[in-house]
């Protein structure tokens, strides 16, 4: 779980510093082993100001930036192998 916390912190910093407005509008809500520490699922949600973004567009931007985000994680953690990152979008409640 310590690794998950380190990865979450590194990713949140990387996303916040990102020049891509879609990615900079994301918040890391959870990082969990999927199914082990060699592969981590990263759950992200849109910040309230960017909540109306299409999920497909967010996934596309995450896919394009996956290598950069993994490199940021590698620089932040102290492991021989950097875990594979699998991104998922947190479900948002429909507008009332």
**What torsion do the CA atoms of 49, 86, 71, 53 make, to the nearest 10 degrees?**
-20
Q: At a CB cut-off of 8 Å and minimum separation 6, what does 1 contact?
A: none
Please state the pTM of the whole predicted model.
Answer: 0.85
Each residue of 6-18: pLDDT tens digit? Answer: 999 999 999 999 9
* pLDDT over 70 (residue 51): no
Report DSSP state, residue 96: -
pLDDT for res 54: 82
* pLDDT over 80 (residue 48): no
Backbone angles phi, psi at 6, to 5 degrees: -65, -45
For the domain made up of 2-89, the CATH class stated in words is alpha beta
Domain spans in the chain, listed from the N-terminal domain onward: 2-89
CA atoms within 13 A on the CB side of 71: 4
* Contact between 87 and 15 (Cβ < 8 Å): no
């Amino acid at each position: 779980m310590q690794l998950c916390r380190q990865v979450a912190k590194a990713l949140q910093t990387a996303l916040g510093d990102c020049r891509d407005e879609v990615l900079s509008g994301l918040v890391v809500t959870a990082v969990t082993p999927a199914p082990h520490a060699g592969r981590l699922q990263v759950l992200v949600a849109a910040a309230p100001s960017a909540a109306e973004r299409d999920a497909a567009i967010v996934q596309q931007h995450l896919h394009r930036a996956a290598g950069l985000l993994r490199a940021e994680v590698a620089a932040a953690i102290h492991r021989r192998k950097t875990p594979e990152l699998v991104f998922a979008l947190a479900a948002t409640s429909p507008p009332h």
